[in-house]
Amino acid sequence: MWLTLAFFSSLFLGLDEVAKKSALKDNAVIPVLALSILLSAALFLPLQLVSVFSPDTLLDTAFYIPPVSADAHWGILLKAAIVLGSWIFGFFATKHLPLTISSSVKASRPVFVVLGAILIFGERLNFSQWAGVIVVLTALVVLSNLDKRDGRDDREPPRRKMLWVYFLIASTLLGAASALWDKFLIVRYDRLAIQAYTCYYQSLMMIVIVLLMWYPKRKQTTPLQWRWTIFLTGFLLTVSDFLYFYALSDPEALLSVLSPIRRSGVVFTFVVGAILFHERQIKVKAAILAVVLAGTMLLYFG
């Protein structure tokens, strides 16, 4: 059962990346992110209201959102801030970089999770696992130095294009930090409560960011255009996370198997980017993606 959930989580995550790319095309990044988060939070509100005012209705189901302690709220608030930082960097990178590049870099996130575990928890790697880390990091260096023309706008200066690569790396590192923090939260608090309250806190943060950063300068920047893919971005990621945390809560689930399966959704994203968005240097990027995935497998199964 948990394997099936993991594969579907991977599929929804891959679809989310495609929807995100479509939503951000010639669109304002900050309000698009805000809308997708607000729509995600709206999906949890009916469950939250029923859980509060008629708890017996959902009590024995997968959709019950229990109350949590003040300590839990502080932990979830930190997670919300980390994830939001990852998304802000990631949304800007997704808008300006080809999907075939962003998907390859995101496939490396499990490597940074393991490196973080080494630094924080004192975990040790064997020879093949260290080989996997080196292979992935080398592939990322090669990927970041691909043809400078391979960006959203050929007229964009090379330094600006590299900025988006750095944004993508920052997003990946923050995502890895979030995964490490998840390991702390998931054993202490309810998985759906973590997911729901994360959305609520992120919604409040994004309202402040929109009012301070985007709204006063909205007439001088890229205008906001409503697209249904904005809704899909929030919906697909919410479903993907729900399935992943549900699978992770299975006593028989193996994290070492779940994580690479979920990251395999980047293969779908890569293929769609190559076909629908007519991106360039596909053979080189496909080879790099294969190397990244192989390095990740070495890391988990070495």
pLDDT tens-digit readout, 84-122? 999 999 999 999 888 878 877 777 777 777 777 677 766
Structure tokens at 79: 């997670």
Q: How far apart are CA 270 and CA 102, in angstroms?
A: 9
| pLDDT tens for each residue of 164-201 | 889 999 998 998 888 888 878 888 899 999 999 999 99
Nearest C-alpha neighbor of 202 from the set 121, 120, 83, 103: 83
pTM of the entire predicted model: 0.85
Q: Residue 160: what pLDDT? A: 74
Q: Which domain holds residue 119?
A: 2-301
Percent of the chain with pLDDT over 70: 87
DSSP readout, 162-230?
Answer: HHHHHHHHHHHHHHHHHHHHHHHHHTTS-HHHHHHHHHHHHHHHHHHHIIIIIGGGGGGSPPP---HHH
Residue 151 pLDDT > 50, yes or no?
no
- Overall domain count for the chain: 1
